[in-house]
């Protein structure tokens, strides 16, 4: 596509013309490229918004920490599970305010393992938030966190992200099952002792 401009002398008389030729093919290609890029950006924004909506309403706690253990992002479920207010600010979060004192060290060790081993870590801990069992007993809630390190091109951990689940009900059921098994084993031992004693007396 040619573009020309008249060349005039001092008396404003046209003495010639100069111009450039622009390839319409290149123009169309550049326009198509810009259009596709705009569509890709719009799709990315739409995908990001959908993921954000999904994350906020997910039944699992979702979180991202930097390598200094500063909370960068979490959904409302995370705050609910940990026992913090939904209006809490990320930068003010400190796990020691919510994790049961006896389990703080194990949580710290798990995070350190992520930084040193660069491998996923699953760990279980208790929080100060109370959970009431089906038999009406209140106790600290049990949580399980599955954390994954995010690495840069050099293999260094840049952040830690993961999901968290409330396993209080599972732990309660497991303890009930263990207690019943212990009772059955003890009952069997007493029965065997009774049989042995009876047999001894009959001899």
What pLDDT, in 10s, does the model give residues 150-185? 999 999 999 999 999 999 999 888 877 776 766 766
Q: Quick one: pLDDT at residue 69?
A: 92
pLDDT of 24: 65
The confidence band for 56, taking pLDDT boundaries of 50, 70 and 90, is confident
| Ramachandran sector of residue 175 (left: φ over 0; alpha: ψ -120 to 50; beta: rest) | alpha
Per DSSP, 85 falls in state: -
Rounded to whole angstroms, how far apart are CA atoms 122 and 117? 13
Per-residue pLDDT of 6-18, as tens digits, reads 555 566 555 555 5
Mapping DSSP to helix (H, G, I), strand (E, B) and coil, where does residue 175 land?
A: helix
Q: Which residue, 15, 14, 20, 63, is CA-closest to 162?
A: 63
CA–CA gap between residue 51 and residue 73 (Å, rounded) = 13
Determine the pLDDT at residue 11: 61
Backbone angles phi, psi at 2, to 5 degrees: -80, 140
Task: Write the CB contacts of 67 (distance below 8 Å, at least 6 apart in sequence).
Answer: 115, 157, 158, 159, 160
Q: How many Cα neighbours within 13 Å face the side chain of 48?
A: 6
Name the burial class of residue 157, with classes exposed (0-12), middle (13-18) and buried (19+) by CB atoms within 10 angstroms of its CB. middle
Q: What is the mean pLDDT of residues 23-36?
A: 70
148 pLDDT band, cuts 50/70/90, is very high
- Is pLDDT larger for residue 102 or for residue 37? 102
pLDDT band at 54 (very low <50, low <70, confident <90, very high): confident
Cα gap 144→123, rounded to integer Å: 6
Lowest model confidence (mean pLDDT) among 53-57, 69-73, 163-167: 53-57
Residue 88's pLDDT band, with cuts at 50, 70 and 90, is confident
DSSP secondary structure of 26-82: HHHHHHHHHHHHHHHHHHHHHHHHHHHHHHHH-SSEEEEEETT--EEEE-HHHHHHH
201: enclosing H helix or E strand: helix 168-202
């Amino acid at each position: 596509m040619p573009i020309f401009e008249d060349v005039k002398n001092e008396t404003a008389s046209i003495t010639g013309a100069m111009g450039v030729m622009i390839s319409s093919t290149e123009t169309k290609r550049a326009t198509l490229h810009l259009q596709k890029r705009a569509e890709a950006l719009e799709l990315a924004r739409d995908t990001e918004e959908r993921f954000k909506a999904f994350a906020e309403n997910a039944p699992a706690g979702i979180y991202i920490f930097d390598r200094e253990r500063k909370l960068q992002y979490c959904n409302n479920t995370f705050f609910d599970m940990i026992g913090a207010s939904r209006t809490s600010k990320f930068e003010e979060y400190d796990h020691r305010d919510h994790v049961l004192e006896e389990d703080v060290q194990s949580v710290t060790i798990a995070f350190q393992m992520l930084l040193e081993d660069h491998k996923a870590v699953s760990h279980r801990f208790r929080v100060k938030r109370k959970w009431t069992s089906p038999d009406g007993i209140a106790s600290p809630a049990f949580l399980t966190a599955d954390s994954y390190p995010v690495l840069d091109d050099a293999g260094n951990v840049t952040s830690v992200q993961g999901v968290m689940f409330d396993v209080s009900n599972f732990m309660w059921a497991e303890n009930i099952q263990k207690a019943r098994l212990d009772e059955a084993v003890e009952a069997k031992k007493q029965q065997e002792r009774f049989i042995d004693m009876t047999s001894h007396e009959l001899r």
